[in-house]
Structure 1
Amino acid sequence: MSAVLLFHVDDAGRWPNLLANLRNAQTAAPAQSLRVIANGQAPVSLWAKGHWRREIEERISAGVQVDFCENSLRNMGLNPEDRPAGSQLVAAGIIAIADAQEAGALYIKP
């Protein structure tokens, strides 16, 4: 499959499902392009230095693109500089999702 799989997470409690989806996708199709866009309340869980953060950093190191919505970070008072290593910022998560879909990404909501 050549299309990017675009995972959208906007709920802080959905990280376990998302991480399982990423692990499974990377195992089943190691060359598959995977992207995560996190907005809403989701980022708050990864600003703690816990297990989910370590695992998302491992997924990033293994080639997953992870983007955090700057609007969401600002609304929750989270410092963008404290984001997981290797992740990136997008100005507005919803616009990034729409742009990715327009470019052919396949939307997945874990």
Structure 2
Amino acid sequence: MAGRKLQPGEIPALAMEYILHGLRNICYGEIILVAQDGVLMQVEWNEKRRLDCWQDTGSGTCPYSPAALQEIAARIRKEFGLLQYGKLVLVIRHGRLLQIERTEKQRFTGLDGEGI
């Protein structure tokens, strides 16, 4: 993908739109943002279908107000900005963002070259 180089901690508008789309549409699952050198490398989307609520189709409306989505987007940007190497996992249950998990990995440079 050609384009400008992302700055550390930056989440492009199209990526944030994709993330918020997932938050509006996933009932059970996770959205995973992967960082390397503080730069967003990929966004993964895992949706689970629970058999005990398979019949629940939902109302089809977004569970979040526009103001709430902007607040969530700001929180995601803030948490991702703190990440150098690792993952930011958005855990979704019952169609709501339940928690944000940040897993930081440490690189040891100088041992045998570029790190682990």
TM-score (norm 1): 0.33
Q: Higher relative CO (CA 8 A, sep ≥ 6), structure 1 or 2?
A: 1
Which one has the bigger helix percentage? Answer: 1
Kindly indicate which of the two structures has a greater share of residues assigned to strand: 2
